[in-house]
Chains A and B, each alone.
Chain A
Amino acid sequence: MAYADIAAFFPILLKGAVVTVQITLGALLLSTFLGLLLALMKRSPFAPISALASTFINVIRGLPIIVQLFYIYFVIPELGIDLSAFQASIIGLGIAYSAYQAENFRAGIEAIDSGQIEAAKSIGMKSALIMRRVVLPQAVRIALPPYGNTAVMILKDSSLASTITVAEMTRAGQLIAASTFQNTTVYTMVALMYLALSLPLIFGVNRLERFFSKSRQGANQ
């Protein structure tokens, strides 16, 4: 491993890392939005709406993410909608992870004691207000650790965007390795850079989990 190689590769990989972070944040945002929508739809008293959400979630969970990416990148343009590979990767990952986010949010929402919801009703609150003022603020706290785990998974799976030509970090590594044959140096660097992004997230999640389990114990004393 020559330092000269490392110095030469680093800026290229760093550019890829920026794209990786962009995809991760974009997909995280989209999956949060869609996941919340799906979780709320699933709780709808109107059966067709909850059935639609359940079907969507099951289909998404039953498909490999890479197939979803191919589908969005290669099939959607045939319908006349132009998507760059970058956009397709965000949409693909965002939709794929919305199913898991819906599950995170659903668990958070259902953890709220029904007595609180009745108390809210008894002071005249309507269901949308109960959601906003009573359920969601607490559900968000409960859903935060699994949410962080999902963020880590999206970060890692953003590497799948390399398969649809997005020049994120993994693909940048592939390109360098293919032209220099410095496989060990390149992929070690790529691995370390993923860890540099993911480990802080993982530690953050662990801290959150410890914090919440402690404060919940405190609540029962």
Chain B
Amino acid sequence: MIAIDHIHKAFGATQVLKGVSLEVAAGEVVCLIGPSGSGKSTVLRCINGLESYDSGAITIHGQTVDVRRSDIHALRTRVGMVFQRFNLFPHRTVLENVMEGPIFVKGEPRAEARQHAQSLLEKVGLAEKQAAYPTQLSGGQQQRVAIARALAMRPEAILFDEPTSALDPELVGDVLTVMRGLAAEGMTMVVVTHEMSFAKEVADRVCFLYGGQIVEEGPASRVLSEPQNARTQDFLRRVLDH
């Protein structure tokens, strides 16, 4: 459903993406791994048009992703995004954060939006926190609210950009549990992560990004256990060492 075809992207003089291609089928979970600065976030941000790309093409179910086109807003409602730093709206309660999109973007009736939001909060294990403000929650709880906020739009796919990297180690598990649940339900997911055990267990496919190119990709078990590329081997050795 997501098709990335040979995209290039430069920030000023720096080429950040040098011909990245990636197909994600409906229901598939793809993990993007790679060293910092290799372009993982940029790939995700291009998929939902938070960033433009210079050449190549990205389509969602055949519809082109183009920041300058007015259908970009509607497209974004179909592809959710979860950020490393949660990015909840601090002036709104947990419930309001989740209802914001359905009510103000989709025009859902408030009662319906509330009911859906409550069921999503229950799903991420935060039903009792619906009246709290984001600052009253731990990082792990905030990230689960952010996932509920993305789910509230009933997206066809969700992009995760290092969703557990800003969390204290003891809070990572709850977030990964929610993500595992989504994968099991058949949600299409593209996940940038350094959690190799999560990737191994949940990902259908792993792509290793290096210097703006996917230098190795394949089934999670193969890429993570028997990497062929020297860069991948080197990267995995360093990640798994610490």
Residues in A lying within 8 Å of B, measured CB to CB: 113, 115-116, 118-126, 129, 133-134, 137-138, 141, 218-220
Q: How far is the CB of A13 from chain B (nearest CB, A)?
A: 43
Q: Which of A123, A218, A220 contacts B76 (CB 8 A)?
A: A123
- Complex: A123 Cα to B79 Cα, angstroms: 8
Q: How many angstroms from the CA of A212 to the CA of B153 in the assembled complex?
A: 33
Contact across chains for A113 and B91 when beta carbons are under 8 A apart: no
Segment with Cβ contacts to A, from B80-88, B196-204, B227-235: B80-88
Report whether B135 and A218 are in contact in the complex, using a CB–CB cutoff of 8 Å: yes
Smallest distance from the beta carbon of A132 to chain B beta carbons, Å?
Answer: 9
User: Are A116 and B105 within 8 A (Cβ)?
Assistant: no
Pairwise interchain contact B91-A122, C-beta atoms closer than 8 A:
no
Question: Per a CB cutoff under 8 Å, which of A121, A123, A134 touches B150?
Answer: A123
Report, nearest first, the 9 A-B pairs whose CB atoms are least far apart.
A124-B77, A123-B101, A119-B87, A122-B81, A115-B87, A219-B135, A124-B105, A124-B76, A124-B73
Q: CB distance B104 to A133 under 8 Å?
A: yes
A220 to B85, CA, bound (A): 14
B76-114 contacts to A (CB < 8 Å): 76-77, 80-81, 83, 85, 87-91, 100-101, 104-106
B101-A125 in contact (CB<8A): yes
Chain A residues in 8 Å Cβ range of B83? 115, 118-119, 122
Q: Is the CB of B76 within 8 A of A122?
A: yes
- Complex Cα–Cα for A219 and B90 (A): 9
In the complex, what's the smallest C-beta–C-beta distance from A142 to chain B, in angstroms? 11
Residues of B within 8 A of A141 (CB): 91
Asked if residues B135 and A123 are in contact (CB atoms below 8 Å), the reply is no
Q: How far is the CA of A133 from the CA of B91 in the complex (A)?
A: 10
Residue pair A125, B135 in contact (C-beta under 8 Å)? no
Smallest CB gap from B96: residue in A? A133
Which of B50, B73, B87, B152 sits near A125, CB closer than 8 Å? B73
Query: What is the CA–CA distance of A40 and B43 in the complex, to the nearest angstrom?
Result: 31
- Give the CA-CA distance A133 to B103 in the complex, in Å: 12
Encode B143-155 as 1/0 by CB contact (under 8 A) with A: 0001001101100
| Bound CA–CA A115/B84 (angstroms) | 10
A119 to B100, CA, bound (A): 11
Given contacts A122-B83, A123-B105, 17 further A-B contacts (CB under 8 A): A115-B83, A115-B85, A116-B89, A118-B50, A119-B81, A119-B83, A119-B88, A119-B89, A120-B89, A121-B76, A122-B150, A123-B149, A124-B74, A124-B105, A124-B153, A125-B104, A138-B90
Distance of A197 Cα from B63 Cα, bound (Å): 61
0/1 string, B207-219, CB within 8 A of A gives 1: 0000000000000
Identify the interface centre among A119, A120, A122, A220: most chain B CB within 10 Å of its CB. A122
Interface assignment of B141: CB less than 8 Å from any CB of chain A: no
Q: Is the CB of A133 within 8 A of B101?
A: no
Residues of A close to B77: CB separation below 8 A:
123-124
Residues in B neighbouring A122, C-beta threshold 8 A: 48, 50, 76, 80-81, 83, 150
The answer to whether B153 touches A119, judged by C-beta atoms less than 8 angstroms apart, is: no
A118 neighbours in B (Cβ, 8 Å): 50, 81, 83, 87
Name the CB-closest residue of A to B79.
A122
Q: Which residue of B lies closest to A219 (CB)?
A: B135
| 11 pairs, A vs B, C-beta closer than 8 Å | A118-B83, A121-B76, A122-B76, A123-B100, A123-B149, A123-B152, A124-B76, A125-B101, A129-B105, A137-B91, A138-B90
Chain B residue numbers with a CB within 8 Å of A120 are 89
Residues of the B chain whose Cβ atoms lie less than 8 Å from the Cβ of A115: 83, 85, 87
Closest chain B residue to A218, Cβ basis: B135
Point out the residues of chain A lying under 8 angstroms from B150, CB to CB: 122-123
By a CB distance below 8 angstroms, the chain B residues around A137 are 91
Q: Across the interface, which residues of A come within 8 angstroms of B81, CB to CB?
A: 118-119, 122
How far, in angstroms, from A118 to B85 measured CA to CA in the complex?
11
Using Cβ atoms and an 8 Å threshold, which residues of chain B touch A123? Answer: 76-77, 80, 100-101, 105, 149-150, 152-153
B135 to chain A, nearest CB (A): 4
Q: Which residues of A contact B85 (CB under 8 A)?
A: 115
A185 to chain B, nearest CB (A): 50
